[in-house]
Structure 1
Amino acid sequence: MQEANIRVFLDEEELHVGKEIADELPVAIEKSKIYIPIFSKGYASSAWCLRELAHMVDCKKSKPSEKEIMPIFYDVKPRDVKLKSQRYVSALEEHEEKFGRETRQKWEDALKSVAQIKGWELKKQGHWKFIQSVLQEIVMKMKTKDKYVTEHLVGMDDPKEAVRSCWTWTPGLALCPDKLKISYNALNHEQQQIFLDIACLFVDKDKTNALYMWKDCGFRPDHSIQVLVCMSLIKITDHNKFWMHDQPRDLGRKIVHGDTRPTNPRKQSRLWDLETADNIIGTKERKKHIEAICLWETRVYTSKEFSRLPNIRFLMLVGGNFSGDFENHFSELRYMTRTGVSREFLAINFHPSNLVVLELSYSSITEEWAGWSQFKVAKKLKVLDISHCSNMTRTPNFSDYLSLERLNLEDCKKLTEVDGSLKSLSSRILYHSKMINANCPLGWKEVQLDRLEQLVEFDVDDLDLEGFSGLSNLKRLKRLTLYECQNLTAIQGLGSLDSLEQLDISICPKIGSLDDLSNLKKLKSLRISNCEVLQAVKGLDELETLATLDLVNCDH
C-alpha cells in the first residue's frame, strides 16, 4: 500500500507502547470508513480479531451509509466463516468457556453477517493478481482524501501475526518514478492501454470520442477511466478533457519508448512524434507493433506504406492524402482524425469496416467528396465530425451509418440542407449544430425529438429555433444546452427530464417561463444567464442533488 501511494501506519506507530490497546483499537475502528477483515485459518482463534469484527459490524449498523465492510477470504471459504464447517466452530467453543455464551453469540453473529458480504477469495489466482484487484477496489472507494481504512491481517504466515493499520490517501501528490511505475503495474491490461493512449495521444483532448474507440476495443473505458482518476494518474477537467501531470505522461511515453532503454521506434506501439512517425512509415519492413500513428505532412501516403501497419487502430493525418489500392487495409482501424482534407480523394477500396470515429474537421470537402462512398462500409461508425467545413452546403447521405450517435456540424457556415436520411437513423444521434442556417428540411424552426428517445446530450447553438416537440420523451437525456436561441419562447416538457444532470440556458431573451423543475431529481448543474424576461424558476428548493446554481442577468 505504501508503494501505491497509500500511507500505512502499523500498530507500533499508531498503538503506542504503554497505552491500553483495548481503548485505542475501538477509536481507530470508529474513525475508519472502510473495514477489511482478512479471514485466515487462524482468524477465529484470536479473541482480538473477533472483538474487532463485532465492533466493525456495530459501527456499520449505526452508520450504514458512511461505513463499508470489504472482507477478504484468504485461505478459507465464505462457508467456513458462515460456520457451515468446523473450521471456526471449535475455536468459538473455546472462547465460550473463557468469555461466556453471550460473547460467543455476538461473535458468531458478526462472522455470519460479514460472510454474507461479497468479498475477495484468493482461490488459485496468483498473489500479485489478487493484490492488484484488492488495491484497485480500495482505491476506487477512496475517492476523496483523508478517508480512513482499518485493515486486520491475522493468522497468516507472517512474523507479525497481527497487523493493524489505518490508511490515509491523498490524491494528486507528485510521485517518484518508482512509485508511479508501481501504480502503473497495479493496473490491468485494459487500463494500461488507456493510460498509454492518453499519455501519448490524448492529453488536453476531449475524452468523448476516445471512449468510443476504447469501448469497441474491449477496454471497458468507463470503469478504467474511473480507476485512473482515483489513482491520480489522470484528471478530467471541467471542459471534459483529459489532464495528466508531466510525470505520469513522461512515464507513459517512456514505457512506450521501451522503458529505460530506448528501442527501435519501429517496435513502439504508438508514434506521436511527427518527424519520427513520418520517417518510420516510409521504411520497408512490416511494423506489427504499431497501434497508433500521428502524421503531419502534406505529402501523399501510399497503400503500400500502410500495408506494413496491419494493427493500426488510431490514425491522425493533418494535411496530406492517400493514394493507391487500400483493399484489406485498416481492418483494425477504429479512430481516424483528418484535418485539412482536400476535395480530391485519390485512394480506392478505402474500406475501414471497423471504424467508429471519423473526424474530418477544418477541411475543404463538400457533399460531393468522393471519400463519402468509400466510408459506406463503416457500419459501426458512431461519431462523425465535419465541423468547420466551410464549403459544405448540404450534409452527406447518412443512410449507411445506421449506428451513428454523434454528429458535429459546428461552424459549417454555408450549410443550408441536412439530408433527409438523418430522420431514419436509430434515434440515438447527438447534434452539435452551431451556426446552421434555419432553412433546414429537418425543421430547425421547431426541432422534432419524438424519435430520439436514446438521446443523452443535446446542444443547440445560435439557431432561429422557436420551439421543441417531443422533449418529454427523452428519458435518458443528461445534458441540455441552449445558447443564443433568440426566438425560443418556451421549452415544453423540460420538467419531465428525470435523468437530466446539466441544464444550461444562455442568451435566450424571449423565454418567459420554465416548467416546474422539482422532478429533476438528478440535476447537478443549473446555469441560466441573460434571459431577460424569464420569470421565477419553480422547484429549486427540491433539487437535492444540485451542486451548481448560476443565475446571471435574469432580472425577473
Structure 2
Amino acid sequence: MSSLPSTSSSISRKKYDVFLSFRGEDTRNNFTDHLYDALSRSGIVTFRDDPKLEAGEEIAPELFKAIQESWCSIIVFSQTYAFSSWCLEELAEIVKRHNNDGHKVFPIFYDVDPSDLRKQKEKVEEAFARHEERYKEDSEKIQRWRNALIQVAGIKGWHLNNGVRLEDLYLKINIGEDDVRIIGICGMGGISKTTLARATYTQMSPYFEGKSFLTDIREVSEKCGLVSLQKQLLSQIFLDECFNFFDVHEGNVIITHRLSHKKVLIVLDNVDNIQHVKCLVGRHDWFGLGSRIIITTRDEHLLRSCQVDDMYMPTTLNTKDALQLFNLKAFHSYTMLKDDFIELSEHVVNYAGGLPLAIEVLGSFFFDGLEEREKNIFLDIACFFNGEKKDFVIKVLDGCEFFPDIGIDVLIKKSLIKVDNQYLWMHELLQELGRQIVREKCVGEPGKRCRLWEETDVHHILTKNTPLYKLKMMNLKGSKNLIETPDFTTASNLEVLILEGCTKLVDVHPSIGVLKSLKLLNLRDCKSLRSLPTKIGMESLETLILSGCSSLVRFPEIDGKMERLKTLDLSGCCKVENLSENLHPEKLRPNLYSLFKVILGRRTNPMPRMLPLLLVLSSLRELNLRDCNLCEGDIPRDISGLSSLIHLDLSDNNFIRIPASLTRLSKLEFLQLSNCNICTLGEGDIPSDISGLSSLRYLLLRGNNFISIPASIIRLSKIYSIRFSDCKMLKSLPELPTSIEDVWIDGCSSLEVVASLSKVFNLLDSVGTKAINCFKLAENMNALTLLKKLLKVD
C-alpha cells in the first residue's frame, strides 16, 4: 500500500486511516487477516467490521459512520462479494463519499476479473439476479449498487491470483517472530520459484531495515565470482556505500560485522552450490533478530545441508489455475473461454504439465509470433547476453540495427525475458531452447553459424581461420589465459570487440588498428597490456575503453579519421607517458566535439597538463575527472571555454574549497564534489556570483569536512537536489531555495540547526530524501512540537 501516506493534515481530522471492505466468509481468515495485520504493523489505523455486526440483513449504522470517519477505503473484491447485500451497501456508501468528499478508494481483485465486475457477467450476473428477485420494490437500490460496482471496478488496483501459494509461504516465513529464519523454496525449473520469492520480497520488504535480492546466483557467480556477489549484497543494503575488498573471507567478516545488528530481508535466487550460501549468509548469527533469508534452488539436498529452518516446495498449477494463467497471457482475460478456444486451451495446458513458465511462454506465442528482428534479439540474448546490463545490450544491438528498445520490450511482454535491477535475464530453459535453434543450423561446421559462444567452436574458428569475415561481434571477456589476439585482417566486418578482464593479454595484433567497421573496443582491466598499435584509424569507432590497463605505457596516435569517437575511458591508466601528445584535440575532427565524453583516471603529473587542452572542446557536455589526484590549482581559471558542459564529476580529489572558476559554467546541471576533503564553504569561499551556476539542478557534496553552508546557496534558483550525506562536521543549514525537492542529510551526526526544518521534513515523504543518524538534530528538537507542526494541529 505504497500510496497510503503515514501522516497528513487530512488524516489527522479522521478517526481511521483505512476502512476495509470485504466478504467475511471469503477472505476473513486468510488474505484479509494478513492485510489487516500488515496495515496495523505499519501504523495505519484500520477499521474492520466485527463479525457480530453481520448477523442482521441491513447494514449497521456503525459502518456508515466508520466510512465517513476514514480517509480511504480498501475494497477486497472476492468471488462472492457481489452476493452480499451488506457489501454492496458498503460499496455504494464508499462511492458516495468518493464522489462527494474525495474519499480515496483502493480496490484489490482477489481471484476476480475486473471486467466481470464492470460488465456484471458470470457470478456477478447471478448475484444481481438474486438481488432483483429479493428487492423487487426497490429498483433504485439495485441500480445504485450496479453503478457503484462499475465505477470502482474501473479504478486501477491490485490483482491477486496466486494467493494460496503465497499464504502458505508466508506462514513459513512468519515475520511476526523475533528470530532469524532461513527458508528454502525448492522445485524443478519453470515452477515459479523466483516469481514466488520476488512477490514475497516485494510485499515484505517494508518491514525490514535493509533488503537484498541477488538474482540467478549460479549464473552470476560463474561470470563474476563470489566476491562480486558479496559486494552486491552489501551495496543493496547500504545504498551509496562503496565496498572495496577482494577476498571472500574478508567479505564474510564485513557482512557479519555490518549486518549482525540489522534486521534484513535477503533472497538468494537460483543457488546450486553450498559455497554460495556459506559465503553470503553463513550462519544465523550473522544477522540481526527478525531477519529472514530466502533461498531458491532445485537441489533439496543443498537446503538440508544448509540446515534451513523450513522448506517450501511449490507444486504445478491445477487445471483451473493453469487455464486462467494461459488465458491471461494468450487472450488478456482472466475468464475461461468458450466454444472454439476452450478445447484447444486445455490441450496446450496439458502439454505444459502445469509449469507456470511453460504456460506463460505458450500463451504469449498463442496468437502473436515474433518479427525477424525480435527473433534475432532473442537468440543474441540466449547465446551472449543473459545476465548482462540492459544498457550495454541495447548499445551493442543498436549497432546491428535491430531497434533493440522496441524488440526487448516485445520480449518482456511475451515473458521471454525479464529485467531486474537493470539486468536482462532469460530463464535457462528458454536460453537452452535458443541455443539449440542456433546449433541445428550448421551442425558440422560451426564457422557457418550465425552465433558462436562455446569454447570448442570458437577455438576451431580462430585456429582454422574459417569465415571471420562474417563476424560482427567477438566477446572474449574474462579469458584469463589469452596472451595475444589473432590477426584481424580477415575480420573486416567486426563491429564489437570485447577483451575485458583478459588479465594475461600482452599483445594486440597491429591489424586491429585498421578495422574500419569497429564501433566498440573494450580492453578494461587488461592489466598486462603494455602497448597498442602505434597508430589507430578505426573510422567507425565510437567507444574506446582502456580503464584499468595499469601497465599501458604508450597511447596510440589517433588518426584524424576517428570522427565518431564519443567515449574514451582512461581511468586507472597510471603509466601512459604520451597522453597529452596523442589526445590533443587538434587531432580530433570538430564535429566530434558535441558528443565527446572524457573519463580520465588517477594521474600524478600528466593530468594537470592535460586539462587546458580540453578547454577548446566548446561543445563538450560531460566530463568525468573522478579520482584524478587533482588539487584546486589544477582547475584552469578560465574554464568558461567548456561553454556547453552539463555534467561535471570531480569526486575523490583534493580540494580545500570549491574551485572559483566553476561558477562560470552557466549551463552546468550536475556538479559532483563528493569525498574531496573540502574543509570550508564559508561565505567568503563561495564566490558572490554563485548565481552564475544558473542551470544547476544537482549538487552532490557528500563525505566532506565543511562546518556550514553559506546563505548564498539560496541564489541557486533551479536547484532540485542537494546531498550532504556523511558530512560529519556540518553543524548548520541555511534557508534552502524554494525549488528544492530532495535533500540528503543522513549521517550528518553534528548537524544542530536547520533553518528550513519544516521544508526538509515535508520532503521526507519523497522517494530520495534521507535524514537518518542526525543525532544532534534529534536532540535539539522538541518531538511533540515538531509533530504538531507537521500535522498542523493546534
- TM-score range (shorter-chain normalised) is 0.5 to 0.7
Corresponding residue for 1:359?
Answer: 545
Partners of 1:386 and 1:335 lie apart in 2 by: 13
Say which of 705, 714, 736 aligns to 1:516: 714
Residues 98-497 of structure 1 aligned to structure 2 (within 5 Å)? 176-177=357-358, 179-180=360-361, 201=384, 212-214=395-397, 217-218=400-401, 233-235=417-419, 237=421, 242-245=422-425, 247=427, 251-252=430-431, 254-256=433-435, 258=437, 261=440, 263-264=442-443, 265-273=446-454, 276-287=457-468, 290-295=471-476, 296=479, 297-303=481-487, 305=488, 307-308=490-491, 310-316=493-499, 318=502, 319-325=505-511, 329-338=515-524, 339-340=526-527, 342-346=529-533, 350-364=536-550, 366=552, 368-369=554-555, 371-373=556-558, 376-392=560-576, 395-396=579-580, 397-399=583-585, 400-401=587-588, 402-403=592-593, 404-412=595-603, 416-419=607-610, 420-438=612-630, 443-444=634-635, 448=639, 451-456=642-647, 458=649, 460-464=651-655, 466-468=657-659, 469-470=661-662, 473=665, 475=667, 477=669, 479-487=670-678, 489-490=680-681, 492=690, 496-497=694-695
Partners of 1:181 and 1:291 lie apart in 2 by: 32
Partners of 1:198 and 1:436 lie apart in 2 by: 36
Q: Deviations over 1:82-124 (max 9, x none)?
A: xxxxxxxxxxxxxxxxxxxxxxxxxxxxxxxxxxxxxxxxxxx
Q: CA deviation at 1:383?
A: 1.2
Q: Given residue 576 of structure 2, which amino acid in structure 1 is its aligned partner?
A: M
Quick check: which one's helix share is greater? 2
Going from structure 1 to structure 2, the CA distance change for 1:449 and 1:497 (only over 3 Å counts) comes to same
SS at match of 1:384: strand
Q: Which runs of 5+ in 2 are unaligned?
A: 1-110, 130-142, 157-327, 334-338, 342-354, 742-758, 778-794
Partners of 1:474 and 1:211 lie apart in 2 by: 33
Going from structure 1 to structure 2, the CA distance change for 1:486 and 1:324 (only over 3 Å counts) comes to closer
Q: Which has the higher contact order (CA 8 A, sep 6+)?
A: 1
Partners of 2:606 and 2:148 lie apart in 1 by: 69
1:31 and 2:153 correspond: yes
Quick check: which one's strand share is greater? 1
Q: Given residue 437 of structure 2, which amino acid in structure 1 is its aligned partner?
A: G
Going from structure 1 to structure 2, the CA distance change for 1:307 and 1:341 (only over 3 Å counts) comes to farther
1:15 and 2:122 correspond: yes
Partners of 1:526 and 1:227 lie apart in 2 by: 38
Corresponding residue for 1:118?
Answer: none
Q: Is the 8 A contact 1:332 1:354 kept in 2?
A: yes
Q: Given residue 550 of structure 1, which amino acid in structure 2 is its aligned partner?
A: K
Q: Given residue 463 of structure 1, which amino acid in structure 2 is its aligned partner?
A: N
Q: Is the 8 A contact 2:508 2:533 kept in 1?
A: yes
Q: Deviations over 1:212-251 (max 9, x none)?
A: 55555555566666677777734363xxxx424451x663
Partners of 2:562 and 2:679 lie apart in 1 by: 37
Q: Which runs of 5+ in 1 are unaligned?
A: 1-6, 35-145, 152-157, 161-173
Q: Deviations over 1:513-533 (max 9, x none)?
A: 16239955755x846222423
Partners of 1:545 and 1:302 lie apart in 2 by: 57
Going from structure 1 to structure 2, the CA distance change for 1:24 and 1:283 (only over 3 Å counts) comes to farther
Q: Given residue 381 of structure 1, which amino acid in structure 2 is its aligned partner?
A: L
Q: Given residue 506 of structure 1, which amino acid in structure 2 is its aligned partner?
A: R
Q: CA deviation at 1:424?
A: 1.8
Q: CA RMSD in A?
A: 5.0
Q: CA deviation at 1:290?
A: 3.8
Going from structure 1 to structure 2, the CA distance change for 1:536 and 1:244 (only over 3 Å counts) comes to same
SS at match of 1:281: helix
- Number of residue pairs aligned between Structure 1 and Structure 2: 407
Going from structure 1 to structure 2, the CA distance change for 1:445 and 1:353 (only over 3 Å counts) comes to closer
Partners of 1:227 and 1:497 lie apart in 2 by: 38
Q: Given residue 430 of structure 1, which amino acid in structure 2 is its aligned partner?
A: E
Q: CA deviation at 1:30?
A: 4.1
Going from structure 1 to structure 2, the CA distance change for 1:416 and 1:181 (only over 3 Å counts) comes to farther
Q: CA deviation at 1:509?
A: 0.7
User: 453-462 or 25-34: which moved more?
Assistant: 25-34
Q: CA deviation at 1:359?
A: 1.0
Q: Deviations over 1:43-99 (max 9, x none)?
A: xxxxxxxxxxxxxxxxxxxxxxxxxxxxxxxxxxxxxxxxxxxxxxxxxxxxxxxxx
Q: Percent identity?
A: 16
Q: Given residue 354 of structure 1, which amino acid in structure 2 is its aligned partner?
A: S
Residues 39-54 of structure 1 aligned to structure 2 (within 5 Å)? none
Residues 50-89 of structure 1 aligned to structure 2 (within 5 Å)? none
SS at match of 1:255: helix
Q: Is the 8 A contact 1:394 1:416 kept in 2?
A: no
Partners of 1:180 and 1:362 lie apart in 2 by: 42
Q: Given residue 258 of structure 1, which amino acid in structure 2 is its aligned partner?
A: I
Q: Given residue 27 of structure 1, which amino acid in structure 2 is its aligned partner?
A: L
Q: Given residue 357 of structure 2, which amino acid in structure 1 is its aligned partner?
A: C
Q: Deviations over 1:370-420 (max 9, x none)?
A: x3336x532211111122223135644241443453322234467543523
Q: Given residue 385 of structure 1, which amino acid in structure 2 is its aligned partner?
A: D
Q: CA deviation at 1:357?
A: 1.3
Q: Deviations over 1:439-486 (max 9, x none)?
A: 698x33879466253524635223326324445856573x54322111
Residues 497-512 of structure 1 aligned to structure 2 (within 5 Å)? 497=695, 499-500=697-698, 503-510=699-706, 512=708
Q: TM-score, normalization: structure 1?
A: 0.57
SS at match of 1:408: strand
Partners of 2:628 and 2:557 lie apart in 1 by: 21
Q: CA deviation at 1:255?
A: 2.2
